Amino acid sequence: MRSPQWHPETLAAHCGVGQDLAYGSVSTPIYQTVTYQHPGENLGQYDYSRTENPTRHSAQEAINRLDGGAGALLYGSGMAALTALVHMLHQGDHVIVTDDAYGGTYRLLVDVFAKFGIRSSMVNTRQLDAVERAFTDTTRLVIAESPSNPLLQVSPLRALAEMAHAHGAKLAIDNTFMTAVRQRPLDLGADFAVYSATKYMAGHNDVLAGATVCRYAEDYAQLNELTNATGSILGPWDAWLLLRGLKTLAIRMDRQEANAAAIAAFLARHPRVQRVFYPGLNSPEQDALQKSQASGTGAMLSFVLDDPNRYIDFMNALQLILPAVSLGGVESLITHPFNETHRELPEEVRWQLGIIPGLMRLSVGIEHVDDLMADLDQALNSLS
Ligand SMILES: *Cc1c(COP(=O)(O)O)cnc(C)c1O
């Protein structure tokens, strides 16, 4: 039906297009219904919207095509997607997770799943020997993020996939920061690509959503059953908003990435900035690794203020960039990971990981880059 040779830009623009069998409407309609009239004595294609809904189905198909999977599922949030994934495990199983993963992933494993007997270890997934040592007889899942949050560190995804499979474990990549238009985890050997679709995929800071794309049909079938059983699905309005956002994913990412690369270089030269973290401005090894597994460097960056005690003054001085958590939307947002996104981590762990009080995380939007740089420059200079 659809050419697999299409570029990501083309696939994105056509998300949800050609899916309406009733009237051929170009935009997928919002099927705001819970239940469906039976065509005869048997149920039809759809019977109950927790199980499946045409709008959600269309969005799932679009996301599955972008990632090249065997099937995709959509959830009410990224955390719901991760929860359903961990639900595939059994009591006594062990999970390895990237040490500077999203704070909520850590909280889910430690505060929720630990009490059901699922153990987890936080490991530096940039160091393969450390990952190798962390495997136990019961390790069934590795969850890696690359580039990581908030330090934008790149993990060797192909090697992680090989290692996980050698130990009989599955690999899930949280691909929220890159999305399928920059990095396709399943092509790199991962079993699952997991997303907070709230971020770049939806892209407008107006909808919470999560997605999981499965490489194998049997995993998809199992996850689909689990999702129907637990019920954390995405509603039709939100699925429609997500489809609407996905159509511009590729061009938003192009603009946001170009802005971010220019801002990272600008900050690296700024006297009030101690250090910048950006894939493309990290070490030569890290940058080469990013190039080998992704087609770009993304639009997230972090930097360390010269004076860590002035971060509140700095955020207050910004006039354009909004101090707010979340990321990936068209508006530029800045956060203070130490006190905001990563406060779930024990303080000593934050220090150990380099999530220090002077660290700022910037999600670069689609504004004019000169306006963004001028805003950062005046706020940084106000600290002198
Ligand atoms: C935001 C985020 C999540 C959680 O997603 P929600 O949609 O907020 O539930 C998971 N992983 C990463 C990398 C994120 O940025």
- Domains in the chain, please, with CATH? 8-246 (3.40.640.10), 250-381 (3.90.1150.10)
The closest-lying atom of ligand 1 relative to the alpha carbon of residue 82 is: 10
Contact 55, 20 (CB under 8 A): no
pLDDT of residue 19: 79
What is the whole-number distance in angstroms between the Cα of residue 79 and the centre of ligand 1?
6
Whole-number Å distance, alpha carbon 127 to ligand 1 midpoint, is 24
Residue with token string 């270890």: 121
Measured from the Cβ of residue 38, the count of other Cβ atoms closer than 10 Å reads 10
State the DSSP string of 142-166. EEEESS-TTT-PPP-HHHHHHHHHH
Which of the listed residues 112, 145, 152, 176 should we mutate to test ligand 1's pocket, taking the one with most ligand atoms within 8 A of CB?
Answer: 176
Atom of ligand 1 nearest to the CA of 149: 13
* Predicted pLDDT at 193: 98
Task: Show which residues are catalytic.
Answer: 50, 102, 174, 199
- Tens of pLDDT along 45-71? 899 999 999 999 999 999 999 999 999
Distance 196 CA to ligand 1 centre (A): 4
First to last CA, the chain: 61
Contacts of 90 (CB under 8 A, 6+ apart): 140
* Number of Cβ within a 10 Å radius of residue 25: 12
pLDDT, mean of residues 63-86: 98
**Predicted confidence (pLDDT) at residue 129 exceeds the cutoff of 60:** yes
Q: 103 vs 30, 96, 118, 178, 272, CA distance in Å?
A: 33, 15, 18, 18, 28
Q: Please tell me the pTM assigned to this model.
A: 0.96
Segment 186-239, tens digit of pLDDT? 999 999 999 999 999 999 999 999 999 999 999 999 999 999 999 999 999 999
Q: Residues with beta carbon inside 6 Å of ligand 1?
A: 77-79, 102, 104, 145, 149, 174, 176, 196, 198-199, 208, 210
Residue 1 confidence class, pLDDT cut points 50, 70, 90: very low
Q: Whose CA is nearest to atom 12 of ligand 1?
A: 102
pLDDT of 3 reads 52
pLDDT at 224: 98
How far does the centroid of ligand 1 lie from the alpha carbon of residue 26, in Å?
30
Residue 164 reports pLDDT greater than 90:
yes
Mutate to test the pocket of ligand 1, among 83, 177, 198, 335 (most ligand atoms within 8 A of CB): 198
Q: State the pLDDT at residue 4.
A: 60
Q: Which atom of ligand 1 is nearest to the CA of 328?
A: 15
C-beta of residue 139 within 8 angstroms of C-beta of residue 91: no
State the helix-helix crossing angle for 217-230 and 78-86, rounded to 10 degrees.
110
Q: What is the pLDDT of residue 325?
A: 92
Q: List the residue whose alpha carbon is closest to atom 5 of ligand 1.
A: 78
Question: 71: CA distance to ligand 1 center in Å?
Answer: 21
DSSP characters over 235-274: PHHHHHHHHHHHTTHHHHHHHHHHHHHHHHHHHHT-TTEE
